[in-house]
Structure 1
Amino acid sequence: MKKMYKNNLLLFLILTLILSITCNAQKRAVKNKPNILFIAVDDLRPNLGCYGNSVAITPNIDRLAARGIVFDNAYCQQAVCAPSRASLMTGRRPDRTKVWNLNTHFRKALPDVVTLPQYFKQHGYHTECVGKIYHDPEQAQDLVSWSVPETLAVTGKAGPKYVLDINTNKKGSWKAAATENANVEDSAYVDGKVSRAAVNILNTIKDKPFFLAVGFRRPHLPFSAPQKYWSMYDRESLPLPANPDTPDGTPEVALHSSKELRGYTDIPESGPIPRQKIRELIHGYYASTSFIDAQIGKLLDRLEQLHLMENTIIVLWSDHGYHLGEHNLWSKTTNFELDTRVPLILSVPGQKQHGEHTDALVELVDLYPTLAELAGLPAPEGVEGISMGPLLSHPDKKWKKAVFSQFPRPWFYKDEPEIMGYSVRTRNYRYTEWLDFRTREVKARELYNHRNDPRETRNLANNNRFSEQVDRLSHVLKAGWQKATPH
C-alpha cells in the first residue's frame, strides 16, 4: 500500500511538472508573438510625403514609411466608411457582408463571422480599440471583437468636432462650418483625446501581446484642427484641383452632388463653390492631415520609449480616398481612382528591406490574412483576400492582375440599391459596369486608360477603338477576385 502511494505521488508530481512546463511554454509562445498597432485614418488619400506629395507635412507617417514598406497601389472595396471598414475587419467583400450603406451591421448577414481583432483575441492576444475603427454609431460597434469595451469609439460621445462658440452654438444639424481653425491644444479635439488615451493604454498593456486599434477621425469633414497645423501652410501656394471638370463621356450614375460637403453652413447648397472657399477647404484638409500625423508621432514615440518598436507590427491604413474638387466632386462615394485608392504602410519587425515601395495591386481585404500570417497564426478561413507577406521581401514580385471596388446608387437607398457599380482596376485600366441590382443588366460602362490618362478625365467605354479592352475587362470583372490572384 505504501509503495502504491509513493508511485501515485511520483506520477502526480511528474504530471504536474509536465503540465507546468507545457503551460509555461504556451505562455512564452504567446508572449513572444509580435504586437499589432493598427492605425486607421478616416478619409485620408495618399497626400503624404512618403507618397511623393511635396506639399504635405507628414514627418511621422514618413518616419513609419522609412521603417517599413509603402503600398503605392492599395485599394478599398467600397469608398465610404461603414462598408469599407466592415469589409476590412471581416476579410469579406461588400457583397458578402451585405454592408453597402451606413446603417447595416455586418453581423446581420454574417452573425458568426470572426473579425480580425476577434481572431487575434482567440489566439491569446489582448485586443483593444480606441477611436473610430468600426463606423461611428453605438449600434455599429462590435463588442465581441475586443477584450475590453471600446474607448472613444462613438463620435458623439468621444469628443467635439468643433470648439469655437460660433460652431458649437449652432442649433439643429451638427454640421456648422466646414473648417475650424482654433488656437487650442491637440487634446481639445477628439483626435488629440484619442492619441492621449492610446498612449496611456500602451502603458498598461505593454507586458502582454496586444492588438491595439487606434482610429483617427480627421481629415474627415469638418476640417477642424489646432491653429499650429494651419500655420504650417501658405494657403495661396496650395495647389488647386488639377482636373476640376467632370470626365468627358462619364455617365451620370457615376457622379454625385457632393451632398456631404454641401450640408455645411458655409458651403452653397448647389452651384459653384467660390475659389477662395476651395482654397480654404484644401488648406483645412492639409492642416487636418498634419494634425493626425502629429498624433501618430505620439504613438510611435511611446512605442520607442517602452522598447516595443522591435516587437510590434505597425499598419497604417485609410478606409478610402477623397476628392478635393477633382472631377467637380468633393468627399467620396464613387468608383473613381481618387476615392478607391488608399494609403497603406506596413512595418514588420525583422523585415530585411526598409523604406521600400511596391507597385503591386493590393486591397484592404488583404490585411486580415496578412496580419495573421505575420503574427504566426493559422491562416483564417473564409476570407476573400490574400496575404501580402511575400511582398515584404520581394516588393517587385508578380502579384494580382486586378483589384475590385464597388458602389451603389442611389447612395441613400431604402431597402436595397437600385444599381450597383462594380469596378476593376488593372495595371493599365479602370473599368466599371453599372448593373441593375436585381436583373444584373448593364446600365452604363466606364473605361479609363491609366497609361495615358491617370486622372481619369475621359471615358473610353463607348469608343470602338477600345472594344477589345472593354470585352476583356468585363470578363475579368465577372470572373472575380479569385481569378485575379497570383497562383
Structure 2
Amino acid sequence: MPQYFKENGYFTYSIGKVFHPGKASNFSDDYPYSWSLPPYHPPSEIYENKPTCSDYNLEENITKNDFFEINSTNHLKRNAICPVDVHTQPTKTLPDIEMAKHAIKILSKISKSRKSPENNMYKKPFFLAVGFHKPHLPLKYPKNYKRYYPLDKIILPSNPYYPANLPEVAWNPWLSLQSRDDIKRLNISFPFGYLPNDVQYSIPTLSKRVFSE
C-alpha cells in the first residue's frame, strides 16, 4: 500500500514497526520501494529486550495496587511484565514514546511546509504510518499508567485451559514468554501450562507460594 502511494506522488514515511523487521521486509522495511525517506526506528529500541526491569521481593498478602511499589531489590531482569519509571531507563524514555514524538515532529514539518514558499517533499500529499510496539513482549510501560486500568475492573476469561483433543501443532507454547525471568520463576508446565490468575493480572498479588525459589 505505501508503495502504491509513493509511486503516485505521495510523500510516504514509516515510523517504528510498520513492516515486521528482518527477512519479512528484506531487512530494509521495504525501503526505498515504499518510503520516501529511510524509516525511523527509535534509539531506545536497542534496550527493548535488555534487563531493564526492577526485580521485586515478594511478600504474602500484597494488594494488587501495592505490588509494584514495594521492596525493589534493584536487580535488573528481562521480565515479561515491566512497569517502569521512565526516567530510570537507559535513554530516559521508551520506544513508543519516542515514536509518538517523532510522528508529531513529522506532522509539524508537513504543516509548516504548507505555509512555506519553498517546494519540498513535505508539500506533497502524504501517507504516514506509525507502528507502535505495544501490546508486545516485553510489556514495558510507564508505571503511572496503572491508574488508568484498575485491576478490580478487569475480568479474565473463565476457561484458561486448552480444548480436549486439540492437535499440539495448533497450540502456541509462547516460548518467548517463557524465556522471561519473571515467568521462568513460575515453573509452569510445558507446553500446556497456563498462567495463574494473579499472574494474568499483570503479576500483582504474587506471593511466595506462587513463585518457586
* Structure 2 residue matching 1:231: 3-state secondary structure: helix
Q: 1:136, 1:154 within 8 Å by CA — same for their partners in 2?
A: no
- What secondary structure sits across from 1:260 in the alignment? helix
1:281-360 equivalences in 2 (<5 Å): none
In structure 2, what is the equivalent of residue 19 of structure 1?
Answer: none
Bigger Rg over Cα: 1
Structure 1: distance between partners of 2:99 and 2:200? 29
CA contact (8 A) 2:53 2:78 kept: no
SS across alignment from 2:86: coil
Residue 248 of structure 1 corresponds to: 164
Say which SS state the counterpart of residue 181 (structure 1) adopts. strand
Q: Give the counterpart of 2:199 among 267, 277, 282.
A: 277
RMSD of the alignment, in Å?
A: 3.1
* 1:128–1:147 CA contact under 8 A, matched in 2: yes
CA distance in 2, matches of 1:198, 1:140: 20
Counterparts of 1:233 and 1:162 in 2: how far apart (Å)? 26
Query: Which of 29, 39, 62 pairs up with 1:150?
Result: 39
Identify the residue that residue 265 of structure 1 maps to in structure 2.
181
Match of 1:119, SS? helix
CA displacement at 1:153 relative to structure 2: 6.6
Give the count of matched residue pairs.
162
In the other structure, the counterpart of 1:130 is 15
Q: Which amino acid aligns with 1:152?
A: H
Gaps in structure 1 of 5+ consecutive residues = 1-115, 283-487
SS in 1 for 2:181: coil
* 1:193 corresponds to 2:108: no
Give the secondary-structure state (helix, strand or coil) at the position aligned to 1:230.
Answer: helix
- Give the deviation of 1:203 after TM superposition: 1.2
* Letter in structure 1 aligned against 2:108: N
| 1:204 equivalenced with 2:204 (yes/no) | no
Provide the residue aligned with 1:222 in structure 2.
Answer: 138
- For the structure 1 residues 149 and 253, does the alpha-carbon distance in structure 2 shift closer, same or farther, using more than 3 Å as the test? same
Counterpart check, 1:176 vs 2:78: yes
Name the SS for the 2:83 alignment partner.
strand
**For the residues of structure 1 that align with 2:43 and 2:93, how far apart are their CA atoms?**
16
Q: 1:237 deviation in Å?
A: 3.8
Indicate if the aligned counterparts of 2:44 and 2:93 stay in contact, CA closer than 8 A: no
**Partner SS for 2:103:** helix
1: CA distance between counterparts of 2:203 and 2:135? 11
Partner residue of 1:139? Answer: 27
Structure 2 SS opposite 1:239: coil
Q: Is the 8 A contact 2:15 2:41 kept in 1?
A: yes
Query: In the aligned structure 1, how far is the partner of 2:2 from the partner of 2:15?
Result: 13
Contact 2:81 2:203 in 1 (8 A): yes
Distance, in Å, in 2 between the alignment partners of 1:163 and 1:203 is 35
Secondary structure of 2:106's match?
helix
- Aligned partners of 1:162 and 1:235: how far apart in 2? 27
* Identity over aligned pairs, percent: 33
Q: CA offset at residue 164 of structure 1? A: 4.4
Equivalent residue letter for 1:253: V
CA distance in 2, matches of 1:241, 1:180: 22
Secondary structure of the equivalent of 1:143?
A: coil
One-letter code of the match for 1:275?
A: N
Matches within 5 A, 1:99-110: none
Q: CA deviation at 1:195?
A: 0.3
Deviations for 1:140-187, whole angstroms, at most 9, x for unmatched residues?
A: 521121101111178744x646794647975xxxx81111112337x7
Q: 1:136 to 1:164 in 2, by over 3 A?
A: same
Deviation digits for residues 21-59 of structure 1 (CA, Å, limit 9, x no counterpart): xxxxxxxxxxxxxxxxxxxxxxxxxxxxxxxxxxxxxxx
Larger fraction in helix: 1
Task: Give the TM-score taking structure 2 as reference length.
Answer: 0.64
Q: Secondary structure at the match of 1:267?
A: helix
Deviation (angstroms), 1:222: 1.1
